[in-house]
Amino acid sequence: MTRIKRRVGLHGLNQRWLLAITVFLTGSLVSSAAGAISWTPHPVLANFHDVIFDGNQFWAVEDNGLVQVSPDGATWTSAAPGPSYNFYGIAHGGGGQYVVVGAGSGGTNVDHSVYVTNNGGLTWSQATVSSTWFNVTFFSVAHGATAGEYVAVGGGGVIRRSTDGGATWSPSPQYWYYYWLSKVIYAPIGTGLYVAVGDAGSILTSNDGGVTWTAQYAPGTVFCP
C-alpha cells in the first residue's frame, strides 16, 4: 500500500484539480476532473514539493532541481533549471516569469537556491540572494501585488524579498530565527497581505509588500509573538 507522507500542493481550475504529494519511497501526482470527488494517480519516481496553476498549465517542483509542466495533470514534461538542488516552492509572476526556491549550497555566504525564468522555462538564471552566516533553505515563495515582487521564506525564520522579478533578494529588517517558516501566500486584501506560517504555531503577516512583519497568535499554539 502506498503511504502518503505529506500533502504539498493543491490547485484547481473549474472542476479539474491537481494534488502533488510526497509518498513513502516514491513520489506521485493525483488529479481530479470530478470536483475533487474521485482521483486518478500518476505515479512518478520523484518527490514533488509544490504545484501551481498559471491559468494555462500546471507547474510542479521536485528534488534534484527538476521542474515539471503539464496542461492537464496527466501528461508531464520537464523544464529543468539544471542544478541538482532540491526545489520546494514555485511562484508565477505573470507572462513567462517563474521563480523556484529550495535548498541552499554549502560553503558560501550567498545562497544558490533561487532560479528565475522569464521565457516560460526555456532558460533559467541563478538569483543573487543576500544571506546570513549560514546558507538558507527556502521552502516557499509567493508573488505579490506589483510586477516583479516576490517574498520567500525558509529555515531559521528567514524572509527574503525581491522587487526585480526574482533577480536579487534582500532580507527583511526583522529576523524570526526561532521559527522555521514553511509556507507564504499573498492575498489581495486591502493594500495586499502576505501571510507566512511555520513550526510551533508561528504566523507572520505583512501588509507593506513584505518589508515589515507582525507576529500573530493562533489559539492552542505555543508561538509567543
Query: Looking at residue 69, which CATH number applies to its domain?
Result: 2.120.10.10
What is the Cα–Cα distance from 182 to 88, expressed in whole angstroms?
A: 9
Give yes or no for a contact between 60 and 48, defined as CB atoms under 8 angstroms apart.
yes
The neighbour count for residue 3, using CB atoms within 10 Å, is 7
The answer to whether residue 67 is domain-embedded is yes
Mean per-residue pLDDT pooled into runs of 10, the chain (225 residues): 39 45 45 57 71 89 84 80 79 95 62 83 85 73 95 89 94 71 92 90 91 84 55
The answer to whether residue 217 is domain-embedded is no
Q: Residue 39: its pLDDT value, please?
A: 64
pTM above 0.95, yes or no: no
The answer to whether residue 203 is domain-embedded is no
The answer to whether residue 115 is domain-embedded is yes
Q: Residue 108: its pLDDT value, please?
A: 47
Nine-digit cell string for 68: 515539471
The answer to whether residue 207 is domain-embedded is no
> What strands, in cross-sheet order, belong to the sheet with 168-171?
110-111, 128-130, 168-171, 159-162, 150-154, 138-143
The answer to whether residue 14 is domain-embedded is yes
Give yes or no for a contact between 103 and 62, defined as CB atoms under 8 angstroms apart.
no
The answer to whether residue 93 is domain-embedded is yes
The answer to whether residue 88 is domain-embedded is yes
Q: How many domains are contained in the chain?
A: 1
Domain that holds residue 47: 4-183
